[in-house]
């Protein structure tokens, strides 16, 4: 099979090109495919939503919302369990894991599985976003194209990033945001030469989106001119956005962990479907991504006209409005977590933008109510837009992506200064409480997160199992000095691992200790290996992270350390020279142009 692929690569039109030129052509192709995938996803969501709407009986309170989201979750759950047979939730986190742990390899089914299941989930009313699944889809397209054409690890990673960038650019018609998302959120540490493929992929994906979806902005809004007098209020919005980001991140992870403790799949789905149905019934804004419900806020419309909820009476009371939207902001996280935990497939990207918009409106409306006697008012639609950037900067710890994405998807470049102020302050506030984003926190806790830090990135990419060498003869702890003399004489090893009958590590036998008594023939039968062996200064576990291994070498100043399994079975040694050599090679690989 491998030989057939190599032969095909040699004779296909791309086979005669250098790998760098192949990357440029493939980045264009990956961008086109990722853009088309984004178009297909959006069309599928709209189509499924229309079909789900046929279930409506015309009730003012849309009773079908109690049922259809749960049906969508169930269909997605069955598809994942019996067709895909793989965990495809949390797409961006899965991409980060592939980069950090799986050599940028993503399974082929991810080129369609996330797209299909997320469209069913969201189209039927699941309260999640389509962005993370399409990022996973785009990254899978890039990874599998690179693997098919025999690319190196570095260029496979570049094409994976091209797919992710193209997916963001395609779904939002925002090519610059696609590039920034890849660099900030996916934690790429790229040279300038790698930027060209990312740009090609993002632009080509955006072109596909414009061709099939038209040239309108994803978020049409009516903005008022920016006023310097409102800067203190944007600072306040940034602080509030940072605190909301911490709430969003921590509550999401806590809820997912709690629901995951329900081991019975049917029971978990039933409870989540019931909870989600009730939330959407009370707050129809939670249906699907919720972007449609933001139109009134983004264009300064009459909120009181929205009585499509049993809580609609609150919207006709001045202070009832911020109270209602405070509930929406706080409970959206629950709706999102229940959707994903109950078997649905979707991401946190869309809910982050939704909660940010609500947070921005909440701040603006509260300020207007408090300051109405003084004649001061703030433009609520501007704050809605800036709030989206503030939450995105905090939850994803990606301020540049937030600034440029919101400007691109709304045409709100006139609000560039408020976007920068709110996003930067929200980012800084969140970092006071959280070091990692919602996508990377769990991976970071395992020590497997690839970062922008070259040193840490190299240690993450290195695998302990690749450095183990089992070249030293093993000796038994009960053996006498006479019994091990042939082993010593027959080799040049400076150290011998001592094991028991079950191959469990007992200690080290150092040649320096043996030389002191090598000519004492009267001791050959009375001295045993356990009399001469010593304990190592530290052990290395089989799957121990490399940064931990490096610290052990620094602390002990040892030249080599034994590697053992959890049950103390001996595997071999890792030497400092081999570790440093592998470190240099890995550093050269990720740093080369």
Per the listing, tokens 């929406």 go with: 328
The CATH number of 458-591 is: 3.10.580.10
Residue 468 has pLDDT above 50, yes or no: yes
The single-letter DSSP state of residue 347 is B
Confidence of residue 166 (pLDDT cuts 50, 70, 90): very high
More confident residue, 586 or 251: 251
Give the pLDDT confidence of 309-359 residue by residue, as tens digits: 777 778 888 898 999 999 999 999 999 999 999 999 998 999 999 999 999
Residue 360 has pLDDT above 50, yes or no: yes
Long-range contact pairs involving 329-332 (C-beta distance under 8 Å, separation at least 24): 329/244, 329/355, 329/358, 329/359, 329/362, 330/247, 331/279, 331/283, 331/286, 332/127, 332/286, 332/290, 332/358
The CATH number of 2-213 is: 1.10.3080.10
Q: What is the pLDDT of residue 60?
A: 43
Domain with CATH 3.10.580.10 in the chain: 458-591
Bridge pairing between strands 505-510 and 495-499 = antiparallel
Report yes or no: 298 and 381 within 8 Å, Cβ to Cβ. Answer: yes
Domain with CATH 1.10.3080.10 in the chain: 2-213, 228-449
Residue 2 has pLDDT above 50, yes or no: no
Which fold would CATH assign to domain 228-449?
Answer: Clc chloride channel (1.10.3080)
Give the pLDDT confidence of 266-295 residue by residue, as tens digits: 999 999 999 999 999 889 889 988 888 888
3-state secondary structure of 372: helix
Q: What is the pLDDT of residue 58?
A: 43
Residue 537 has pLDDT above 80, yes or no: yes
Distance from C-alpha of 37 to C-alpha of 171, rounded to nearest angstrom: 9
Give the pLDDT confidence of 174-184 residue by residue, as tens digits: 999 999 999 88
Confidence of residue 454 (pLDDT cuts 50, 70, 90): low
3-state secondary structure of 306: coil
- Comparing CA positions, the residue from 390, 385, 380, 378 lying closest to residue 411 is 385
Give the phi and the psi of residue 573 in degrees, each rounded to 5.
-120, 155
Return all residues near 139 (Cβ < 8 A) that are at least 6 apart.
95, 98, 106, 110, 160, 161, 163, 164, 167
- Comparing CA positions, the residue from 144, 172, 178 lying closest to residue 159 is 144
- Comparing CA positions, the residue from 476, 471, 524 lying closest to residue 495 is 471
Report yes or no: 182 and 396 within 8 Å, Cβ to Cβ. Answer: no
What is the residue-wise DSSP string for 208-248? Answer: HHHHHH-SS-SS--------GGGHHHHHHHHHHHHHHHHHH
Q: What is the mean pLDDT of the chain?
A: 85
Tokens of 385: 């837009």
Distance from C-alpha of 422 to C-alpha of 404, rounded to nearest angstrom: 13
3-state secondary structure of 570: strand
3-state secondary structure of 528: strand
Distance from C-alpha of 33 to C-alpha of 208, rounded to nearest angstrom: 9
Residue 545 has pLDDT above 90, yes or no: no
Residues 296, 299, 302: CA angle, nearest 5 degrees: 50
Q: What is the pLDDT of residue 578?
A: 81
């Amino acid at each position: 099979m491998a030989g057939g692929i190599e032969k095909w690569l040699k004779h296909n039109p791309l086979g005669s090109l250098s790998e760098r030129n192949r990357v440029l052509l493939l980045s264009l192709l990956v961008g086109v495919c990722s853009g088309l995938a984004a178009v297909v996803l959006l069309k599928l969501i709209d189509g499924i939503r229309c079909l789900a709407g046929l279930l409506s009986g015309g009730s003012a309170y849309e009773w079908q919302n109690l049922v259809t989201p749960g049906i969508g979750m169930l269909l997605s759950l069955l598809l994942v369990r019996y067709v895909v047979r793989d965990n495809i939730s949390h797409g961006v986190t899965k991409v980060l894991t592939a980069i950090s742990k799986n050599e940028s390899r993503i399974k082929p089914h991810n080129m369609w599985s996330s797209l299909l299941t997320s469209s069913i989930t969201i189209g039927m009313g699941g309260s999640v976003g389509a962005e993370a699944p399409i990022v996973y889809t785009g990254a899978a397209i890039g990874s599998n194209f690179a693997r098919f054409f025999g690319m190196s690890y570095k260029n496979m990673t570049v094409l994976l990033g091209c797919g992710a960038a193209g997916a963001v650019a395609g779904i939002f018609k925002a090519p610059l945001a696609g590039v920034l998302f890849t660099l900030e959120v996916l934690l790429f540490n790229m040279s300038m030469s790698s930027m060209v493929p990312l740009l090609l992929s993002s632009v080509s994906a955006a072109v596909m989106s414009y061709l099939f979806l038209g040239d309108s902005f994803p978020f049409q809004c009516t903005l008022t001119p920016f006023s310097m007098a409102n800067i203190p209020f944007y600072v306040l919005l940034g602080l509030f956005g940072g605190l909301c980001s911490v709430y969003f991140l921590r509550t999401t992870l806590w809820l997912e962990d709690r629901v995951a403790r329900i081991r019975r799949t049917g029971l978990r789905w039933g409870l989540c479907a019931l909870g989600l149905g009730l939330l959407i019934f009370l707050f129809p804004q939670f249906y699907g991504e919720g972007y449609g419900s933001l139109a009134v806020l983004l264009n300064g419309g009459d909120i009181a006209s929205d009585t499509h909820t049993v809580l609609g009476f609150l919207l006709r009371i001045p202070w009832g409005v911020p109270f209602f939207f405070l509930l929406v902001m706080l409970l959206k996280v629950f709706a999102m977590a229940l959707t994903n935990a109950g078997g649905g497939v979707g991401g946190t990207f869309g809910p982050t933008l939704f909660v940010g918009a609500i947070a921005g409106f909440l701040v603006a409306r509260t300020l207007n109510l408090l300051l109405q006697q003084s004649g001061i008012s703030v433009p609520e639609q501007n704050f809605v837009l800036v709030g989206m950037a503030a939450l995105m900067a905090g939850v994803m710890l990606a301020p540049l992506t937030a600034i440029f994405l919101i400007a691109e998807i709304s045409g709100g470049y006139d609000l560039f200064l408020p976007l920068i102020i709110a996003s930067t302050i929200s980012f800084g506030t969140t970092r006071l409480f959280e070091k990692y984003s919602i996508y990377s926190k769990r991976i970071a806790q395992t020590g497997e997160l690839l970062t922008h830090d070259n040193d840490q990135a190299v240690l993450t990419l290195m695998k302990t199992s690749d450095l183990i060498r089992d070249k030293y003869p093993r000796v038994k702890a009960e053996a006498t000095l006479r019994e091990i003399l042939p082993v010593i004489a027959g080799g040049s090893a400076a150290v011998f691992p001592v094991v028991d009958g079950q191959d469990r590590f007992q200690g080290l036998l150092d040649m320096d200790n043996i030389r002191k008594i090598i000519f004492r023939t009267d001791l050959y039968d009375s001295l045993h290996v356990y009399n001469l062996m010593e304990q190592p200064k530290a052990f290395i576990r089989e799957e121990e992270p490399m940064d931990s291994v490096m610290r052990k070498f620094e602390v002990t100043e040892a030249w080599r350390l034994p590697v053992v399994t959890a049950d103390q079975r001996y595997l071999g040694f890792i030497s400092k020279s081999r570790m440093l050599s592998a470190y240099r090679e890995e550093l050269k690989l990720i740093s080369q142009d």
